[in-house]
Structure 1
Amino acid sequence: MPGQTVKLLKVFIASPGDVMLEREKARDEVLSLRALAHKHGFDLEATGWETHAAPGMGRSQARINQLVRECDLFLGILWRRFGLPTGEAESGTLEEFNLARERYAKEHAPEIMLYFREVHPDFLADPGPQLHKVLEFKQQVEDGRLALYANYRDPEHFASLLRQHITDWLLKLVPDNRPGAPSAQAVEEIPPLSAFAEHLEYCRTELQKTARPLRLRTLTLPPLFLEEVEAERPRNMKVSIAVKTFPRLLILGEPGAGKTTSLKKLASEYAVWRGEGKEPGLNEPEDFNLPIFVDLSAYPTLAAKDSQHGLWRLLTASVRGVHDVDVRKRLAAGGCLLLFDGLNEVGEAYDEVVHHLRHLVHEIPHNRFVVACRPGIYREELRREFTAFQLERLSSFNASKVLEIEIGAEKAQPAWKGLDEYTRDLCRNPLMLTLLADELRAS
């Protein structure tokens, strides 16, 4: 920011060689959080042996240790390998961790975060020397309370945890008198969920009316991302599970595949809230996600008047019965499920909308984001911030059952049996199935 001194915060990544994907994810998360850091007068830089340890004479680990002495945040990542001895410690990661702890004891810096990837039970039965050292080290950390640590399932889960942890750490560094720091009064003024009763009723009723009778279907990985399957990312999962697993979810689907219906179903089912202390629908009672369905096709009209704040205006206008200021407060506090539909319908404003979406996820990071788009429109920029899945076509059986819901079993069953194989396959697309139902209903 002009006229403001920017402080560089260095994030050191320590790990053996079996978590290279996590190292890449860590660097990506640090890079993506720079926008948030800049907003508060900081900058972020990821450091590690592969990018910052210059070649030279002497012990190579000593050059890496210098990066530990300069870092503000220490990230340690371990799975099944502990690493090789350095001459000073059983592994480079352990030597780096010990140095970070020595620094913290003297300087209260760097902040130390450890991450342990979950190990399949088959490996635990006979861990071998490397995994045995990892398990032993983890036990020492736990027993001696040497540092806070988190367990994670896979690289995507790790990235999600890390994003949240770095965000929290970063915001703790913001002094109360720095512009952008929330005041205690502002926190107290966050509107309660009961203030959104009209909006929740709209999601439960009006959005439900315009959604087709489809279940929250299975999402499958787009073929171009198959390398992520090899990284132990699930090949498919239910929409309702995916939205809980990935804080930033991109749903790709061909025309008529059910993208809008899926988002409206999520909004209507997450809107089942019965008051403070009572169990909601898909939400957990202690972590209610307030759903906000946003139709991006309206963006070009709003942006014509205010391109800088067009997405924010559309977002707040999508909440019924609540003042814009209160919507912003709720979004700043977090706990909302933002469902952006129609990215493929913004025309020439596509790049502008993607730019705003990528900034929004860092501006209000304590919310969940789902964006729906056609595969042909989607481009690489969104993949840096979102986890992409693709809507699976209806099975022939499910298509026949949806038809029964639409026009009744008495008419639907003989009609479905009378279709040729080609037409049945076409009707696995929800839009084509809807057209068939309308035709049969009228006949």
Structure 2
Amino acid sequence: MSYSAVVYKVMIASPGDVSAERSIVREVLSEWNVVNADVRRQVLLPIGWETHSVPEMGDRPQALINKQILHDCDLLVGVFWTRIGTATGEYASGTVEEIEEHIKVGKPAMLYFSSAPVLPDSVDYDQYRRLKEFRLSCQSRGLYEPYSDIQDFRTRLYRQLQLKINRDEYFQANGLAESLPVIRDIPPSPSLSKEAAFLLKECVADPSGHVLHLSHPGVYVLQVKGKNLIEYGNERSRATWTSALEELERDELLAATGPKRNIFKVTRKGYEVADRLP
């Protein structure tokens, strides 16, 4: 069934020696959409010069790319290994220009630098020197993430993308994050804790009847109707809401829909019990 969704464009910025990482960024965004799009009514759309730019004359090539695709993007993911790229006349490279222009207007950027081994004869040392200068300049302006290999990059990006979307003020201001619910006025039912009763009623009120549950190192999400019920960094909150989910599953009011146990749906029994809740 079709539905309206908020689309956030994600710019993939990198020189030419990290093509595998560019593919991984697209895969991770696709995985995020599979898990989150139906429940949150939001989509992360990967954007890159190779897929979204068109021929045009009248300005510097990078200026045209900025105008055509960069300026409309919401989040930027930048990746480097041994190269910085070709100078644009304004910045050290096209990738650097995309990053600097993006953060200049206050939009979030996530930067990654590879420490994977490389054959010495394959390294352009002028490129590598300029890359180190840029990385050094980033140290005083924010946080970037090193990674050791392709799998390490995938793991870090997947986890940190969840954190970025759930915590960054930019996405909160644009409707991705909502305040935690107040449940103190909801009485418990004879058989359910007040948290479990609240979670069941919220799930039933969502037309999809879904609860999203993610648990990775440092990332805990239990989300219904676009709201993450687990307060970030609060272990008591994590334990409380995880227990509520387990309670509903144990009583056969919610059921996991796949082997990854990321999505739980209301059962027929769950709808019947919810109808009897105060």
TM over 0.5: yes
Q: Cα offset for 1:97?
A: 1.1
| 1:154 maps to 2:149 | yes
Q: Residue type matched to 2:71 in 1?
A: R
Gaps of 5+ in 1: 197-321, 329-352, 365-443
1:32-431 alignment to 2 at 5 Å?
A: 32-38=31-37, 39-58=39-58, 59-66=60-67, 67-104=69-106, 109=107, 111-120=108-117, 128-142=125-139, 144-145=140-141, 147-172=142-167, 173-176=176-179, 179-183=225-229, 188-191=236-239, 324-325=246-247, 356-357=258-259, 360=261, 363=263
For the residue of structure 2 that corresponds to 1:82, the secondary structure is coil
Q: Cα offset for 1:63?
A: 2.6
CA distance in 2, matches of 1:139, 1:91: 16
Residue 119 and residue 135 in structure 1: after superposition, are their counterparts in 2 closer, same or farther (change >3 A)?
farther
CA distance in 1, matches of 2:86, 2:135: 17
User: In the alignment, is the contact (CA less than 8 A) between 1:112 and 1:148 conserved in 2?
Assistant: no
Q: Residue type matched to 2:90 in 1?
A: E
CA distance in 1, matches of 2:50, 2:118: 32
Q: Residue type matched to 1:175 in 2?
A: E
Q: Residue type matched to 1:63 in 2?
A: L
Q: Cα offset for 1:45?
A: 0.3
For the residue of structure 1 that corresponds to 2:105, the secondary structure is helix
Q: Residue type matched to 1:15 in 2?
A: S
User: In the alignment, is the contact (CA less than 8 A) between 2:116 and 2:149 conserved in 1?
Assistant: no
Residue 84 and residue 190 in structure 1: after superposition, are their counterparts in 2 closer, same or farther (change >3 A)?
closer
User: In the alignment, is the contact (CA less than 8 A) between 2:11 and 2:77 conserved in 1?
Assistant: yes
Q: Cα offset for 1:21?
A: 0.2
Gaps of 5+ in 2: 168-175, 182-223, 251-255, 265-278
Q: Residue type matched to 1:170 in 2?
A: I
Larger radius of gyration: 1
Structure number with higher helix proportion:
1
User: In the alignment, is the contact (CA less than 8 A) between 1:82 and 1:131 conserved in 2?
Assistant: yes
User: In the alignment, is the contact (CA less than 8 A) between 1:40 and 1:174 conserved in 2?
Assistant: no
Query: Would you identify which runs of 4 or more consecutive aligned residues in structure 1 move more than 6 Å?
Result: none
Residue 17 and residue 35 in structure 1: after superposition, are their counterparts in 2 closer, same or farther (change >3 A)?
same
User: In the alignment, is the contact (CA less than 8 A) between 2:116 and 2:147 conserved in 1?
Assistant: no
User: In the alignment, is the contact (CA less than 8 A) between 1:37 and 1:170 conserved in 2?
Assistant: no
Match of 1:223 in 2: none
Q: Cα offset for 1:323?
A: 8.8
For the residue of structure 1 that corresponds to 2:144, the secondary structure is strand
For the residue of structure 1 that corresponds to 2:145, the secondary structure is strand
Match of 2:13 in 1: 14
For the residue of structure 1 that corresponds to 2:64, the secondary structure is helix
Q: Give a deviation string over 1:411-440, Cα, whole Å, max 9, x none.
A: xxxxxxxxxxxxxxxxxxxxxxxxxxxxxx
For the residue of structure 1 that corresponds to 2:77, the secondary structure is strand
CA distance in 2, matches of 1:118, 1:18: 13
For the residue of structure 2 that corresponds to 1:46, the secondary structure is strand
Q: Cα offset for 1:159?
A: 1.0
Q: Give a deviation string over 1:298-331, Cα, whole Å, max 9, x none.
A: xxxxxxxxxxxxxxxxxxxxxxxx9932889xxx
For the residue of structure 2 that corresponds to 1:43, the secondary structure is strand
Q: Residue type matched to 2:126 in 1?
A: P
Q: Cα offset for 1:87?
A: 2.0
User: In the alignment, is the contact (CA less than 8 A) between 2:178 and 2:226 conserved in 1?
Assistant: no
CA distance in 2, matches of 1:28, 1:36: 13
CA distance in 2, matches of 1:148, 1:51: 28
Q: Provide the aligned C-alpha RMSD in A.
A: 3.5
Match of 2:171 in 1: none
Q: Give a deviation string over 1:8-61, Cα, whole Å, max 9, x none.
A: 001100000000000000011111111333221211100011111112223321
CA distance in 2, matches of 1:37, 1:71: 20
Q: Residue type matched to 1:20 in 2?
A: S
TM-score using structure 1 length? 0.40
CA distance in 2, matches of 1:93, 1:33: 24
CA distance in 2, matches of 1:7, 1:171: 15
Q: Give a deviation string over 1:225-251, Cα, whole Å, max 9, x none.
A: xxxxxxxxxxxxxxxxxxxxxxxxxxx
